[in-house]
Amino acid sequence: MTSDTRVKMVAGAAELMSRRGVNATSVREVVRHTGTPRGSISHHFPNGKQQLIEDAIVFAGAQVSGPLRHLTSERGAMAGLHAFITLWKKTLERTNYQAGCPILAVAVEEYIGDVSDKNTAGGQATQRRLLDLAQSVFADWQQILFAALKREGLPASRARRLATLIIASVEGTVAMCRAARSAQPLEEVSHELEVLLMGAIKKH
């Protein structure tokens, strides 16, 4: 069992979370989905499902923040906005509107412990830990957009508010698209965010 197996399981967990949520992403389902040996869980994730979910949160966040940071640094805030929206649109269309954002799934669910969990601190402590990780991902995405808007000349306070608005708008609209089984809500929000961002940048 190599580190490739571990990465495969973390990525598989993140994908299942995006489709089914956190609690429905069981250790058994991850093993089945990724085609990995059952013993891989205890080997790579000695603390059980909780550890796997934590790593999946970090992995899913990095899958967005890496490209977003690079693109905003190279091409600016508008390119970053387009990339962020395009990523979720492609995810929705590729999965026939069955997958959304795994980080949002963590934020809205209350974690139910798994028999594989080795953490004895209790449910509330685990819930706080998962929410803290989800918040750190959202904050990272906001920080990337905030920095890009600052480079465009916007005041820090406005840049921070706009970065928050972008993340909140897109995350919420992804959920609407899943319910509607259509990308139309995201297209409409995308248009308005572009108009808002262009206007803010031109003023500075």
Backbone angles phi, psi at 112, to 5 degrees: -105, 125
- Confidence band for 85, pLDDT divided at 50, 70 and 90: very high
CATH code, domain with 82: 1.10.357.10
CB 188 within 8 Å of CB 137: no
- Confidence band for 121, pLDDT divided at 50, 70 and 90: low
From the list 154, 133, 161, the residue with the least C-alpha distance to 57 is 133
54's tokens: 């934590």
Can you give the residue range of the structural domain that contains 51?
Answer: 3-202
89's tokens: 């649109």
pTM of the model: 0.92
Average pLDDT over residues 106-135: 83
Average pLDDT over residues 85-93: 96
Looking at residue 201, its pLDDT comes to 93
Please give the single-letter amino acid code of residue 161. Answer: R
Looking at residue 166, its pLDDT comes to 97
Looking at residue 1, its pLDDT comes to 42
From the list 66, 2, 71, the residue with the least C-alpha distance to 36 is 2
Higher pLDDT, 119 or 156: 156
Please give the single-letter amino acid code of residue 132. Answer: D
Averaged confidence pLDDT in the chain? 92
Assess whether pLDDT exceeds 70 at residue 2.
Answer: no
**Percent residues over pLDDT 70 in the chain:** 96
Query: For 48-76, how does the pLDDT look when each residue is reduced to its tens digit (9 = 90+)?
Result: 899 999 999 999 999 999 999 999 999 99
187's tokens: 């297209």
Higher pLDDT, 114 or 187: 187
3-state secondary structure 88-102: HHHHHHHCCCCCCCH
Looking at residue 133, its pLDDT comes to 98
- Using left for φ > 0, alpha for ψ between -120 and 50, and beta otherwise, residue 39 falls in alpha
- Using left for φ > 0, alpha for ψ between -120 and 50, and beta otherwise, residue 97 falls in left
Query: For 143-197, how does the pLDDT look when each residue is reduced to its tens digit (9 = 90+)?
Result: 999 999 999 999 999 999 999 999 999 999 999 999 999 999 999 999 999 999 9
The DSSP letter of residue 181 is T
Average pLDDT over residues 129-141: 97
Looking at residue 132, its pLDDT comes to 98
Domains held by the chain: number? 1
What gap in Å lies between CA 198 and CA 126, rounded to an integer? Answer: 41
From the list 83, 72, 86, the residue with the least C-alpha distance to 187 is 86
Assess whether pLDDT exceeds 90 at residue 122.
Answer: no
